[in-house]
Structure 1
Amino acid sequence: MQQPTQIPNSTPALVGQLLNQRKFFEQENSQVKHLDNTSISSNSTVYLRLCENMEYVVDCVCTKIMIEECKNLKLTVNDKIITSIIEVWKSDNVNLNLNSQVQTVQIDQCNNINLNYSNPNYFHSVVWAITTQLSFKIFENGQEKHIFNDGNDKQNLTSDNNTEEPSKDKHLNPEQYIVRLIDNQLVTEELVRAENWFPTTRREWGEWKAKVNANEERERQRRKEEAENKSKGNENDANVNNNNEEVN
């Protein structure tokens, strides 16, 4: 695992400017609403808040999608999300149909969240905390290829010693988890904060530390061999000088 590269100074300001341009849809009920370039601009963050029994279809580019305190909500995304992020928190019974790439779906303090990815290329990771009944499906050519059900299928959840099966209560704690495809298998791991609060997993952090230690050991060995070769060279030079003195 490589440490993150330096972000250009202009990037955070640009992202912040985009995220500040929010388009709110608040306290809407019992409607089907299509969002296109006549209702939102490409630099808008779509913010759904306190909506109930709603269905939204996003048919145009937007910056980000945020869902807060919604109930019985269905969202279909058919176009690009610039930041490739959807956030859902304090919501119940939310269904997301994703027909565009979403690098991260982040879910916090929710219940009964269902996601459907129409293509494996659209899935990268799902991050969640304090959430129950999370499930998603990844489709390929219309067929289910990967299925995840939190609370029912725990066989791919890694633990500190990789032997103990975590208890269901662990998902009610503030710990944060991430699900990704690793070697074509859905794997759940706990997120931890490494140096500089960089989010990673214990597995990746351990692999990175092992790589660093191996590189340091190789460097120590190289320096040792270099010193030994230099010492042998000095010894050979001394022997040559002694032999020359004896001849003289």
Structure 2
Amino acid sequence: MQQNELYPTLVNESSISKYLDTSSISSTSTIFIRLCNDIEYIVGSACSKIMIEECKNLVLIVNDKVVTSIIEVWKSENITLKLNTQVQTVQVDQCENVHIQYESIKNFYSVVWTNTKTLELKLLEDGEEKHVLSTGDIPNEKTNSPNDNKSDKPQDNCPFQYIIRLIDDQLTSEELIRAEKGFPTTQREWNDYKNNNP
């Protein structure tokens, strides 16, 4: 490979469709896609992680294993992720119009997002849409604590960051807060913890 095998960077590419396989990436490499426009990437072999920064009109299709099970997208617009493999966490920061589609519910765990206008998540089952959630369905306001008692509320240093998960067979977006020692959790989980550990 001509690029750093551990960190292949795709920069300033546009108006192409590109297939990434073992000839261009290795299973230990992190794919970094930056400043690319009007482009489609198809990941056809395993990689360690995928990062997308400052891209527009990008389609990413992931057909093979992402070892860390993480994809990060930031400062990007009109991004479509089609995930045909397990990606436990997709993190989306400072983006506009992000569409994430999981081919199978079993491949999904969470999407963490902040400062993003229009994020749509679809989970498919047998090729049909089973669950759909758009940030347009969620008020973009900080969640009020049901108990404003300072001793019961964890320290919150990360306002307006949310996590989407499948809870009771429903896609649910909850605000992430910081509990003791900065541990990320939700108000619901924090309240459950406090109730079970008086």
Please give the range of the TM-score, normalised by the shorter of the 2 chains.
Answer: 0.7 to 0.9
Count residues in correspondence: 182
Residue 96 of structure 1 pairs with residue 81 of structure 2: yes
SS at match of 1:30: coil
SS at match of 1:80: coil
Q: Which has the larger radius of gyration?
A: 1
Distance, in Å, in 2 between the alignment partners of 1:142 and 1:103 is: 20
Residue 190 of structure 1 pairs with residue 190 of structure 2: no
SS at match of 2:133: strand
Is the 1:158–1:189 Cα contact (8 Å) retained in structure 2? no
Distance, in Å, in 2 between the alignment partners of 1:83 and 1:194 is: 25
Is the 1:36–1:58 Cα contact (8 Å) retained in structure 2? yes
Residue 175 of structure 1 pairs with residue 138 of structure 2: no
Distance, in Å, in 1 between the alignment partners of 2:159 and 2:194 is: 26
Distance, in Å, in 2 between the alignment partners of 1:70 and 1:49 is: 6
- Output one character per residue of 1:46-87: Cα deviation in whole Å (capped at 9) or x when no partner: 000000001000011100000000000000000110110000
Q: Which amino acid aligns with 2:33?
A: L
SS at match of 2:47: coil
Output the TM-score relative to the length of structure 1: 0.70
SS at match of 1:210: helix
Q: Which has the higher contact order (CA 8 A, sep 6+)?
A: 2
Aligned ranges 1:53-68 → 2 under 5 Å: 53-68=38-53
Match in the other structure for 1:203: 188
- Output one character per residue of 1:15-38: Cα deviation in whole Å (capped at 9) or x when no partner: xxxxx9211000001010000011
SS at match of 1:79: coil
Distance, in Å, in 1 between the alignment partners of 2:169 and 2:142 is: 16
Quote the sequence identity (%). 53
Residue 50 of structure 1 pairs with residue 29 of structure 2: no
Match in the other structure for 1:71: 56
Distance, in Å, in 1 between the alignment partners of 2:177 and 2:143 is: 12
Output the TM-score relative to the length of structure 2: 0.88
Match in the other structure for 1:140: 125
Is the 2:39–2:57 Cα contact (8 Å) retained in structure 1? yes
Distance, in Å, in 1 between the alignment partners of 2:99 and 2:197 is: 39
Deviation at 1:210, TM superposition (A): 1.2
Match in the other structure for 1:154: 138
Is the 2:44–2:64 Cα contact (8 Å) retained in structure 1? yes
- Output one character per residue of 1:143-178: Cα deviation in whole Å (capped at 9) or x when no partner: 110001111x238x994357xxxxxxxxxx952000
Is the 1:120–1:138 Cα contact (8 Å) retained in structure 2? yes
Distance, in Å, in 2 between the alignment partners of 1:182 and 1:158 is: 20
Distance, in Å, in 2 between the alignment partners of 1:145 and 1:55 is: 25
Residue 118 of structure 1 pairs with residue 103 of structure 2: yes
Is the 2:142–2:159 Cα contact (8 Å) retained in structure 1? no
The verdict on how the C-alpha distance between 1:29 and 1:55 changes in structure 2, with shifts beyond 3 A counting, is same
Distance, in Å, in 1 between the alignment partners of 2:41 and 2:47 is: 14
Is the 1:158–1:188 Cα contact (8 Å) retained in structure 2? no
Which ranges of structure 2 fall in alignment gaps of 5 or more residues? Answer: 147-157
Deviation at 1:211, TM superposition (A): 1.0
Distance, in Å, in 2 between the alignment partners of 1:25 and 1:174 is: 32
Compare the two structures and name the one with the higher strand fraction: 2
Distance, in Å, in 2 between the alignment partners of 1:106 and 1:80 is: 17
Q: Which amino acid aligns with 2:7?
A: R
